[in-house]
């Protein structure tokens, strides 16, 4: 059993999606050797809706501040919880280098665009989709990538494209991109966890 942690700052819809995928895998084969579980959700936002999701799903959570990330307390907590793999999902801050080094090759993020385009500080959520539409791109998509000490800069694991149709709005594009996230993120998480 691999213990994953999910870092969020807001809605946390991918938490629910990952949890459903885990349950479906267990139901299809209860004796799987590559099982994973969301051991804990970490957030820097005490008002994150993700906390309500955790309560409903029975997933433990931990609220932290950036000081505890920077002084090593958060990493100690992750080690104490036996975390094997780290998933960022709408987490808006840079992860401290000590956590990145400890989980080298075991910490990933999902970005709602085809990196290296539309990445970097401030490029998240609707900000990305509006910019993509303003620039009249033919395609957008998702990028799942390893995390390093810069925003959206780590090596890419996988990208999936989404065609932008005439008449699409940023809101329509956001829904299409969310569908790609829900389809691919759990699959990639399982695949990577099976190799550690």
Q: Is 111 a catalytic residue?
A: yes
> What DSSP character marks residue 26?
H
Residue 37 β-bridge partners = 3
Question: How far is 79 from 116, CA to CA, in rounded Å?
Answer: 32
Q: Are 116 and 161 in contact (CB under 8 A)?
A: no
The Cα-based distances of 43 to 129, 132, 152, 158 in angstroms read 24, 28, 19, 25
Strands of the 156-163 sheet, one edge to the other: 61-63, 36-43, 2-8, 85-88, 107-111, 139-146, 156-163
State the sign of the Cα–Cα–Cα–Cα dihedral 14, 30, 3, 38: positive
List the beta strands (DSSP E) in the chain.
Answer: 2-8, 36-43, 61-63, 85-88, 107-111, 139-146, 156-163
Give phi and psi for 80, each to the nearest 5: -60, -35
Task: Return the closest-CA partner of residue 16 out of 75, 125, 24, 193.
Answer: 24
Which of 62, 96, 111, 178 is catalytic? The answer is 111
The catalytic site residues sit at 111
């Amino acid at each position: 059993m691999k213990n994953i942690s999910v870092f969020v700052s807001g809605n946390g819809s991918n938490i629910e999606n990952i949890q459903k995928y885990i349950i479906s895998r267990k139901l299809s084969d209860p004796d799987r050797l590559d099982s994973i579980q969301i051991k804990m959700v970490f957030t820097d936002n005490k008002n994150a809706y993700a906390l309500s999701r955790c309560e409903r799903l029975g997933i433990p959570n931990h609220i932290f501040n950036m000081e505890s990330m920077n002084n090593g307390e958060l990493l100690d907590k992750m080690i104490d919880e036996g975390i094997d793999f780290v998933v960022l999902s709408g987490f808006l801050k840079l992860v401290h280098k000590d956590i990145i080094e400890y989980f080298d090759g075991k910490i990933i993020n999902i970005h709602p665009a085809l990196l290296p385009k539309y990445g970097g500080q401030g490029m998240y959520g609707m900000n990305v989709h509006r910019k993509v539409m303003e620039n009249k791109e033919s395609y957008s998509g998702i990028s799942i990538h390893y995390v390093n000490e810069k925003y959206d800069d780590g090596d890419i694991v996988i990208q999936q494209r989404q065609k932008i149709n005439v008449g699409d709005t940023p809101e329509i594009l956001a829904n299409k991109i969310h569908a790609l996230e829900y389809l691919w993120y759990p699959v990639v998480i399982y695949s990577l966890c099976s190799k550690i």
